[in-house]
Amino acid sequence: MTKQIHLVIVGAHCGDGEIQAGAIAYKYAKAGHKVTFLHLTAGEKGNPSHISVEEYRKQKIAESEKVAEILGADTITLDYKDAELTFNDEIIIHVATLMRKLKPTLVITHWINSMHPDHAICPRIIQAAQLKAGLSGFDLEGLAPHYYGYLHSENWEDMDGYVPDIFVDVSEEYDTYLSALSNYWFIMNSASFRYYDYYEALGTVRGCLNKTKYAQTLKYPLNANIKKGANIPGLEL
């Protein structure tokens, strides 16, 4: 194995990062690399009617731990409230400090345009934290500066302007990815969106375009040096 990388996948809610890049995560974990899912909130406000918001928060965190176990990843859920994320210095410094601790080789997060405000704020936080984590002029708990690159991943709620740049072949990982997703209650039981069916079909469609059985896609940040292809730059397996 080449030098171990650390892939950190950041979602606004438990489940976002997993559905967007869970098969990619598993591909790298299988190859012996470190993978972490970081959730800014649990996504607890979408609770089913029979349990409270706090009960559903605990349930979603437990589900995220099960999914991460199957995908060979670690998982972290922060204490911010679902549907109440705010772009401010407090959360930016919090995330930047955490990034200095985690030392990601690459971060994958939401696309910048979304129908969900939490999703749209998440990549802004990652971009702002990138600067604070990387510059030595910011003293964050005495931790050494760490600069990371980031890419965007594909979510049905974030499709405005999302045109993929990178198609990752996840043909060997997709069945395990789908099995892992089935541990989330909302993916299997949502009355408002057929999550499981959508992502099963999306992997197939992206695979067709990639001439593989399944694929997941990534997109460069705006104004980045774009290199379209089938490999994640710097993370070739």
| Inside any domain, residue 44 | yes
Q: Look at residue 236 and tell me if it is in a domain.
A: no
Phi/psi of residue 34, nearest 5 degrees: -90, 135
Closest to 177 in 3D by CA, of 6, 13, 19: 19
The domain that holds 91 is classified in CATH as 3.40.50.10320
Tell me whether residue 124 is in a domain: yes
CB atoms within 10 A of CB 74: 16
Cα(163)–Cα(151) distance, integer angstroms: 12
Q: Which residues contact 66 (CB under 8 A, 6 or more apart)?
A: 180, 183
Give the residue-averaged pLDDT of 63-72.
98
Residue 80 lies in a domain: yes
99-143 pLDDT, tens digit per residue, is 999 999 999 999 999 999 999 999 999 999 999 999 999 999 999
Give the per-residue pLDDT at 1: 47
Report the pLDDT value the prediction gives residue 50, as an integer from 0 to 100: 92
Q: What is the spatial distance between Cα 165 and Cα 144, in angstroms, rounded to a whole number?
A: 32
**208 has pLDDT over 60:** yes
Mean pLDDT of the chain: 96
CA nearest neighbour of 143 among 93, 68, 90: 93
Q: Are strands 149-153 and 106-109 parallel, antiparallel or unpaired?
A: parallel
Instruction: Please tell me the total count of domains within the chain.
Output: 1
Q: Please report whether residue 234 resides in a domain.
A: no
Q: Would you say how long the chain is, in residues?
A: 237
Residue the block writes with tokens 């345009």? 113
For 92-144, give the DSSP string.
HHHHHHHHHHH--SEEEE--S--SSHHHHHHHHHHHHHHHHHH-TTS-STTPP
The boundaries of the domain holding residue 116 are: 6-219
**Burial classification of residue 192, based on how many CB atoms lie within 10 Å of its CB (0-12 exposed, 13-18 middle, 19 or more buried):** exposed
Q: Is residue 228 part of a domain?
A: no
Q: Work out the average pLDDT over 4-15.
A: 98
Q: What is the mean pLDDT of residues 198-208?
A: 98
| 207: in domain | yes
Which residue from 145, 150, 155, 144 is spatially nearest to 119, judged by alpha carbons? 155
Over range 164-169, report the average pLDDT: 97
Q: Quickly state the pLDDT bin for 2 (edges 50, 70, 90).
A: low
CB–CB of 14/148 below 8 Å? no
Which of 5, 1, 221 is CA-nearest to residue 103?
A: 5
Does a structural domain hold residue 72?
Answer: yes
Quick check: 42 and 57 in contact, CB under 8 A? yes
Model pLDDT for residues 72-94, shown as the tens digit of each residue:
999 999 999 999 999 999 999 99
